[in-house]
Amino acid sequence: MKRTELNKIRKSLSADNLGQIVFSNFLNNYDRQIVINKMMNEAVGDTELRHALENTFEFNTADYSNGIGGCPEYDNLEYDDIAEGYNTTLVIDLVNFTARSLHSKNDIDKLKELAILKKKFINSCAVAVGMFNGHIHDITGDGIMAFFNVGERHEQINEAMLAAIFMIYAVKEILNPSLKDENPSHRDIQVRVGVDTGSVIWTKMGSIKHLNSCEVKAVGFSVDSAAKLSSGNSWELKIGEDLYNQGKEKFKELTSKYDDYKRTIDGLEIIYKRYYFDWEKYVRSHDNNIGEVIKSRLPLLGYGETVFSQAAMTLKSIDKLSKPNNHEKIFG
């Protein structure tokens, strides 16, 4: 399933239909076929959309042609290559799944049910991320880490934020009610999301003796920050200071201070601010029309103050590669 096909689906269908596609693997075969027939009938006359839908429902998956992991735009790096770049990272995490695992740890049948549920959720995340030009970089325990590095930096941020809003909304308002209809005792699936952006270094990591097992990784504070931001309470969307600074005033009005991340390094205290983003208020500003929200283009984002400080590191592609000098002092 290609990103271009997922993009076509996103731009052509309603939010409710998108939710049904993303979560179609939660349905039984009969209900899933009803959804397929409905979608295909609505796509009559649009050959490109029908083809995209056929591929989506045939494989019910995102762009796995490059596999999960790494990053398609940088996977051709050699082991010693280092590429400077810019990336927006999204981490979506399931809430209380550790407690569910603890409750089921001595019951293999319950563990199997939990594994199937998590498997369906991870796959749904992959489909949703693909619709917003993202790539699943890693399956992180109870969630996923996705990279958005296609296009200009404000476009990457916009796609990542819209993907985050859509997934939180879709789990809360589309998936859980449908599961509740099937099983009144269903325990709601709950999620939380962290997003941050910044300059990164792309390089291959792994065993130099087994190059086929190596994987491209992004090294940068924004990657680690997004993972930390994904902790917290259900339904929260949290962002870092560098993403916050990219926003226009209307964007900043939708945020509230979370906390300061403080570390002292070599006697110097470094403070990094973190924020909640009020995604529900943003949806309400579009008259509660999630379809309008996820089709919006750069509604609130501009070029923030962090751009200038990071410009020296940022490249749009991997045209320039440097071989690390073994005698070069990297740290300290």
Q: Write out the two tokens for 235.
A: 């339904």
Ramachandran angles phi, psi of 288, nearest 5°? 60, 20
Q: pLDDT at position 307, please?
A: 41
Q: What is the pLDDT of residue 131?
A: 85
Q: 99-155 pLDDT, tens per residue?
A: 666 666 777 887 887 888 888 888 888 888 988 889 898 887 788 999 998 888 888
- What was the pLDDT predicted at 264? 85
How high is the pLDDT of residue 228? Answer: 93
Cα distances from 70 to residues 89, 100, 167, 197, in angstroms, run: 13, 30, 22, 17
pLDDT per 10-residue tile (average), the chain, 332 residues: 71 82 81 82 82 67 54 82 91 79 73 82 87 87 88 89 93 88 82 94 79 82 94 93 92 93 86 95 90 74 52 39 39 30
Residue 234 three-state SS: coil
Cα separation, 322 vs 203, whole angstroms: 10
pTM more than 0.85: no
CA distance 228 to 194: 7
Q: What is the pLDDT of residue 186?
A: 77
Q: What is the pLDDT of residue 34?
A: 83
pLDDT of residue 101: 67
Q: Could you give the CA distance from residue 290 to residue 14 in angstroms, rounded to a whole number?
A: 9
Instruction: Strands of the chain (E only): list them.
Output: 82-94, 135-139, 143-148, 191-205, 215-219, 237-240, 255-265, 268-277
**Confidence (pLDDT) at 61:** 42
Burial class (CB in 10 A: 0-12, 13-18, 19+), 69: middle
**Token digits of residue 218:** 């992004």
Backbone torsions φ then ψ of 15, nearest 5 degrees = -65, -40
> What's residue 241's pLDDT?
95
What is the pLDDT at residue 59?
Answer: 43
Return the ∠ at Cα 2 (arms to 47 and 85), rounded to 5°.
Answer: 140
Mean pLDDT of the chain: 80
